[in-house]
Amino acid sequence: MDFQITGNPESLSNYIISFRVPPLDLGSLIDSDEEDDFSQTPPSTLNVHLKPPQLPSAVGWVVPYTQHHLNEEQDIIPEDLPAPTGKYKLKYQQYATEMKEGYKQYIQRIADKAKITSMQDTSRNKVNEKHDQEEEASVDDLVTLDRKALLQQGYADSPYHIRNSVRKSDAETVAAEKKKQTVVEQMMLDHLSRAVISDPEQGLNTEEQESSPVPPDPEGAPLRVRRRTLHETKIRTTSTLTVNDLAQKVEFDGRVLSRNGRDACRELIGFFFTHNQSLAVYEYRKFGKNRTNVLPFITKDTYSHQCGRRKGKPYRLGDFYTGATLTFLSCDHPSLPKSIKENTLFRLRITNIDQIALNSLKTAFDEHEEDTLSQEAQDWLVLQAIQADKLKEQLCKRGVRILTGLGKYFHHLDKAGSGLLEKADFQQALKVFNLQVSEQDFESSWLILQGNGHGKNKVDYGEFKRAIFGEMNEYRKSFVRKAFMKLDFNKTGIVSVIDIRKCYCAKKHPSVISGHSAEEEIKSSFLETLRDACSKSDEVSYGEFEDYYEGLSIEIADDEDFVSILRTPWGI
């Protein structure tokens, strides 16, 4: 290391000291035992020159940059550097792998972002095209409420449901399986524990034990009581249920057909047992966030059809399928809720069924179809012809207003609250709403409904609407119930309009995203059309809520598009 001292030797404050730093030897940076031995480096010569100071009373450190830069250019990296160790090779490989993966993820994110952007642009173009077509088309047959109701169909074009529907469906599947497992465990526990105690043969065996020559204990309890405890019972009777008997079952989900929201939203899970052709239904109830309970809804027994062409015949395996309706007499079930027992007959609709178990049991039992099944199929074809040919065009773009208006009209005529109306009432309703149904089609449908009903010269108006206009499939209706249950957190069956306004979110409507409409405009349009369907302006019942989406469902062919209309604004 060389340095120079310049300045006045009589004053240290006037010295300028200059250092020349030697170049760095990269070869000496390798691991060795001598890397800390600096004593072998020869000392540089010291040259002292006394010169007059350039700046008085100043001390400066001056590095000769030019000379040091020239020395750096003359340095050559030695060729005999040691090879890198395995540890550094592994680190380099890891680093290279991470860089490649990071670059791939970056490219993927860019591609996904571009795809979402293009989808949003496409949806915006569709919204604009639809709006232009609606403006240019003739709308003489549509009123303002019809056009406002059709705005809800825009959620089917939203790009957000594509990303979230799969994730939500997986979570719902896991929750449903957990719920079913809880119900199955409770059912097995109930029937296996009660079978031995309720068996009449237990009493006969006890009487035989009492007649046996066993000396009584004068200080203890009577012999019959001491030997009647459950943990001491080792009697195996012929009628005792076993796990194998209960395993031969078909599990299904169900709902009560009712306009009462509290009853319609009950979560029911039923079982049909093939060993004795009996069935049982349980209700899964949730209290708060974490507390749940499983309660018997219909006790295990053999039951028969209460109406229709198979009235009086016991239920068989072929009667259970998705969409089937089971009928029961309310008087046979004293533990039913009071709102259900008000009607003589109550109906249970199967919304989902274990198809694998059903096919397996059908193969094992090899049941044959009866003539009544073909007759019911013929009745169904007659109703399908009326729905498809006669009324589909009349309900086009007016389904919400007509179906909700019919529901309100029938509710006004039903003074007794039984849900039953006469033939003349239905004919008058069709005239009021300008629905043209030929006399022959009306008579055919009336005969079918009379055979399926329980009243004399009267038909349930809910059944009449389902027969004449059709209904949503059970997959769609399950989401309608989920949306209403989210609003009806008090389980009363009625929701206030204030709560609906708070929960309804129109931020993800395509018209709002594109800037064509304001969020408050979409929300106000929905509330206005929903209020028009209600008997009371400040509250909405489940039947009115279902009628609204029933009318909206007529124009939507794809199930997932309809589900998006419910998922997006309600967040279910």
pLDDT score of 334: 85
Cα distance between residue 28 and residue 205, in whole Å: 100
pLDDT score of 157: 65
Where would I find the H helices in 355-473? 355-365, 371-385, 399-413, 423-432, 439-452, 461-469
pLDDT score of 362: 85
In DSSP notation, 47-103 reads EE-----SSTT---EE--HHHHHHHHHH----S-PPPPPHHHHHHHHHHHHHHHHHH
In DSSP notation, 98-154 reads HHHHHHHHHHHHHHHHHHHHHHHHHHHHHHHHHHHHHHHS--TT--HHHHHHHGGGG
pLDDT score of 131: 45
Using only the alpha carbons of the chain, give its radius of gyration: 42
Q: Which residue has the tokens 């000496």?
A: 28
Ranges of residues in the chain with a pLDDT under 70 are: 1-81, 119-143, 145, 157-169, 194-241, 366-374, 388-390, 452-456
Using a cut of 0.85, tell me whether the model's pTM lies above it.
no
pLDDT score of 455: 60
Biggest alpha carbon–alpha carbon distance for the chain? 138
Burial class of 480 by CB neighbour count within 10 A (0 to 12, 13 to 18, 19+): buried
